[in-house]
Homo-oligomer: A and B are copies of this chain.
Amino acid sequence: MKSEQSLLKPYSKESFDKAIKEYREAIGDENVFVNADQIEPYLKTYLPIDETLYAPSGALSVTSVEQIQAVLKICNKYKIPVWPISTGRNFGYGAALPAIGGQLLLDLRKMNRIINIDEELGTALVEPGVTYQQLYDHLQDNNIPLNLCVPGPGPLVGPVGQALIRGEGYTAYAEQVTSICGLEVIMADGKVLRTGLGGIETSSARTWQCNKYGYGPYLDGIFTQSNFGVVSKMGLWLMPKPAHCEVFSVVYPEFSDLDKVVNLGRNLKINDVVRSPILLGPTAVGMALGGIPRSVIKKPGEGHLSLEDIKKFSRENKQPAVSATSALHGTKEQIAANFKYIEDAIAGTGGVLIHGQYLEQALPPTLVKHFNHAFNGIPDLQEFALLNWKGGGGLIWFAPICPAVGSEATKQITLMEALSEEFKFDFIDAFFLNGRSMVHLFNLFYDRNNAEETQRAYAFYDKAQRVFAEAGYGVYRSNPAFMKSTATVYGEAQSHVNKKIKQALDPNFIISPGMSGITP
C-alpha cells in the first residue's frame, strides 16, 4: 500500500510557493486554500487505506473559463498538477481525493450557472457546479415539463460530475453518459474545445445540444473517467415529463429465482417495455436502502450478515427473496399495455407483479416513497440510509459489470458470497440492470475508526478485483486507491493508447495525473 506520489514530477517547496503566489494573483487570495483547516472540508472520504497518501496539497476555487485557463498556465509553468472536482462528492468512490497525493484540487463548484434550457428539445446546458437539486428547483420554478434523471445521492451531486464519471440515475436516461450532448473542455494548453456542433462558430445552444456527433471523430467519450481536459460546460438531454409513472416490483420466493429475475429484466429493457433501469436484488438491500435497522435481521455482535442469513430471514418471514423493481412511464394505455407484457412474461414462472397500493406490502414504505421520487426524477436523501446500516462511516462500492443473463449473475453472486464469507462483510448486494449489462453493486460497509476492519476492507476489494478479473469481469468505476490496478485489469493496450493521448494533449500531466490509472 504505497502512494503513487512518486509518479508526480517532484516540485520543490520554492516552486510551490511561487506558484501559489501566482494563483493568488490570478484568481484572488480568497480562492486559494493551502492551510490544513481550509482543506479539511475536502477530505471527507471513504478510502480503506491511509488517506494522507491521497491528500491534496491545497485547493483552488475558480469561477470562469478564463480563471481555469490562468490556473492551467501556472500549472504548466511550475509542473504542479490540479485535480478538478465539480461538486466533489463521488460517494462510495473516494469523494474528492485525487488518485495521486500532492495535487491541488481545482474546485469548480462556484461555476454553477444553468446557461440554457430548451423546453421544446428537452435539453440543458450547465456548468459543473450545478446540482440536481438546483436544476430540479429551476424546472419547478419555471414550470418546465422536463424530468431529471436523479442518482441515489440526488440533491447533493450534479449532472456534470455524474455523467463524466459515468454514474447512473433512475429514469429512462439511466446511464447519464448517454445524455451528454456537447462538451466545452479547457485543454491543458488553454485552448477551448467545444465538441460536436458546438465547434461551429455560429452555432446556438439549440444546434449544439440537439446532436451528439457533429463531424469527424466523436470526442465526448474520451473526456469521461478521464484526465484529458477540464470540462467547463456540458449539454445534457432531459426526458419530457411523462403523463404517468407507475413504480412496480416483480417478486420471487426463492433466491435461486435470481436467474429468472435477471432474464426477465433484460427482456423488459431490450424490448423497450421498461425505460428506467431495473433494480434487482435480495430483500436485505431494500431494507438497507429503506432505513430498516440491521438488527431486524442480525443482532449486533453476531458477526457479518451472510447471504444465508438473508435467505433464512426471507423464508421465515414469508418475504420475497429476490425482486425486480422499476417503473413504467407513459399514457394510461401505454402503461396498461406494458403491464400486460410483464404479466405475460412472468406467467407460470412463480413471479408476482405488484404495483399501486399493494407496493407497500412488498417494500418498506420509506422505500416506496423514495422510488416514487426517484423514478419521477425528484431528488431526495433516502439513500443515505445506507450509511446508517452498519455505522462507522466507511463505504466503498465494489462494482463489477455483469452481462444481463441469469447464469452470469449467478456466477458473480457465487464469487461475491465467497468473498463476503472470507472477509466477513455484510452481503448487501444488488444489480442495476441497464439492458444488456448490469452494474453489480456490493456495498462494502466498514468502520473507518477500526484499523483492522479498514485493512480488511482494502484486502476485500483487492482480492475481489483479482477474482472477478480472473473470471473475465471488470468494474465500471473505482476509487483512487484502486485506479491503477483497475486499469491493469483492462489491459496494456488500453493503458498504452490512453497514455499516448494524454501525452499529446497534456504533456506535463498537469490535469489529474492518476485518474483511471493514467500516469506519466
Give chain A's interface residues, CB within 8 Å of chain B: 120-123, 166, 172, 175, 177, 181, 187, 191-195, 197, 199-204, 206-207, 209-211, 213-226, 228, 237, 239-240, 242, 263, 266, 270-273, 275, 329-331, 333-334, 336-338, 340-341, 401, 403-405, 408, 436-437, 469-478, 486-487, 489-491, 493-494, 496-498, 500-501, 503-505, 516-518
Contacts and interface: CB of A to CB of B under 8 A. Distances in A.
A221 B224 contact: no
Contacts of A493: 187, 191-194, 199
A126 B341 CA distance: 32
A188 to B, nearest CB: 10
Please report whether the interface of chain A is mostly helix, strand, loop or mixed according to DSSP: mixed
24 contacts: A121-B266, A121-B270, A191-B496, A193-B493, A199-B489, A199-B491, A199-B493, A206-B403, A210-B436, A210-B437, A215-B477, A216-B226, A217-B224, A217-B498, A217-B501, A217-B518, A218-B221, A221-B221, A272-B330, A331-B337, A334-B338, A497-B505, A501-B505, A504-B504
Nearest to A516: B216
Q: Which of the listed residues A199, A201, A211, A221 has the most CB atoms from chain B within 10 Å of its own CB?
A: A211
Q: Which of the listed residues A240, A472, A487 has the most CB atoms from chain B within 10 Å of its own CB?
A: A472
A333 to B, nearest CB: 4
B341 A494 contact: no
Contact of A200 (B202, B271, B331, B491): B491
A501 B497 CA distance: 10
Contacts of A197: 401, 473-474
A494 B199 contact: yes
A475 B39 CA distance: 48
Q: Which of the listed residues A209, A263, A489, A494 has the most CB atoms from chain B within 10 Å of its own CB?
A: A494
B218 A222 contact: yes
Contacts of A478: 215
Nearest to A181: B436
